[in-house]
Amino acid sequence: MNIENIDIDVFLHHVATAVSDKDAPVVDLIAVQTKDPYKVLTATILSARTKDETTAASAARLFREASTLEELAQLSTAQLEKLIYPVGFYKNKAKYLNALPQAMEQFNNIIPDTVEELIRLPGVGRKTANLVVCVAFGKPAICVDTHVHRIMNIWQYVETTTPEQTEKVLRSKLPARHWMSVNSLLVAFGQSICRPVAPRCSSCPLDEICPKCGISHGISLSTPAAKQQAAQPQSGHRANDSKRFISWNVNGIRAAEKKGFTGIVHMLSPDILAIQETKAHPDQLSQPLLDISGYHSYWHSAQKKGYSGVAVYSKLKPKAVINGLGHKDFDSEGRVITLEYDAFYFINIYFPNSGTELKRLDFKLEFNALLHTFLINLSQKKAVVICGDYNVAHKEIDIKNPKANVKNAGFTPEERAWMDRFLDSGFVDTFRIFNKEGGHYTWWSYRSDARARNIGWRIDYFCVDQNNSDRVVAAEILPDIQGSDHCPVSIDYRV
């Protein structure tokens, strides 16, 4: 579809209707609740590369200690780091906030209301400046974040490679009546429907008229830059020099390949990707699977073809690779692979399933006991990162229907008791560092539309040794990633 055929009024009207029941972006809420340009500015600085719920919690902590610019000036960088953690790039943002009071002296300690003045402040780029001008002062401004840039290119309303270019085009093309609302609308739309990975095109009100430029295999590659990004190895650096680790039970790597697996890898761009239940030997795989650009791959497959198996794709070349636990019955099923790096061990595990009528429960408990000893021995040498499909929902909040599953594989008292002992012996469930709530699952049955109804289990984990748990910057579940009955889980880890 040619860009001249896009009726932007119609598109934005449909979007506004589709997101009318969605929560407003946190910065908008802060503006409405406080009417305070200082709080809007600081919250906007915090919000970059950070989920709204994390921004809201961190901003609330910050405002309890520093509700004004004067109070902010009394806090050290170290104090600010503790207050705003775990927002993305929290150390850099703490430095920006620490420098803000002095920088504001040039404006007589009054938050400026123009983009040109705001971008002279630490940590404020054009996106932040436009958002503050629009939200805090109610003046026409076009804030172009990644959602606005990506979706406008999907619609072919613009054909640009950077948000800055998109802002420039929109200033000359987008009717002024949309300037103040377009960011809030497209952020909500981009988070809920037109998502960067696995967009929900079938439930989108624009499905029949959208050009869908760059949408492929449920992945949005909507700009020349994004397409290039998907074809190129990505930088491994994350916030505070941390690395992104992802674990995913793919339920058959060859099946996952048909569902866009390599494209998902490039879009997510983990530094280390651990996969379980590969169900394949390396000689059964295509060259694109064996040699994903930018990654080394390591495989430990089951002797039985089409069964079990683990593998790791890593941008970081390990010092050594260890297959198995040194026990033939377990190692023949390809369940454990360990990569040793200078500062840590990375262990990828596919735990046995206890099976129908719990026929393999004893086998699993024996595996768990041997694995536990193996992990403790490694943790006495250096830090350990332990990920995979544990095939157990630890607590009642980790499963949708706990009472109905007490005697079922994956939620037996014996399996849950082992998980208790494992964590009590000096290991940490990283997701629970950041999120204590139920309703977050990593596996859903293919039956009864369970995933759409979020009737699931949390059985995929990243755990670390307790002595190094402060190296975990973030931990997430990625339920929007399709391609398996499991979804990936991730951590950002300072190496």
Residues taking part in catalysis = 389
Q: Report helix angle 37-47 to 126-137, nearest 10.
A: 140
Of residues 202, 80, 240, 212, the one with CA closest to residue 156: 212
Compute and round to an integer the Cα radius of gyration of the chain. 24
Whether the CB-CB separation of 387 and 427 falls below 8 Å is answered with: no
Give Dmax over CA atoms of the chain in angstroms.
Answer: 74
Q: What is the DSSP letter of 282?
A: G
Rounded Cα distance between 347 and 364, Å, is: 18
How far, in Å, are 28, 431, 449, 460 from residue 454 at the CA level?
Answer: 29, 18, 9, 16
Of residues 454, 458, 430, the one with CA closest to residue 442: 458
Whether the CB-CB separation of 100 and 66 falls below 8 Å is answered with: no
Is 274 exposed, middle or buried, given 0-12, 13-18 or 19+ CB atoms closer than 10 A?
buried
- Three-class DSSP category at 176: helix
391: left (phi over 0), alpha (psi -120 to 50) or beta: left
* 167 sits in which H/E element: helix 163-173
Rounded Cα distance between 319 and 317, Å, is: 7
Of residues 462, 456, 463, the one with CA closest to residue 442: 456
279: left (phi over 0), alpha (psi -120 to 50) or beta: left
Whether the CB-CB separation of 20 and 193 falls below 8 Å is answered with: no
How far, in Å, are 109, 135, 145, 149, 466 from residue 170 at the CA level?
Answer: 32, 18, 13, 10, 49
* 340 sits in which H/E element: strand 336-340
Triad 248, 252, 253: Cα angle to 5°:
75
Is 125 exposed, middle or buried, given 0-12, 13-18 or 19+ CB atoms closer than 10 A?
middle
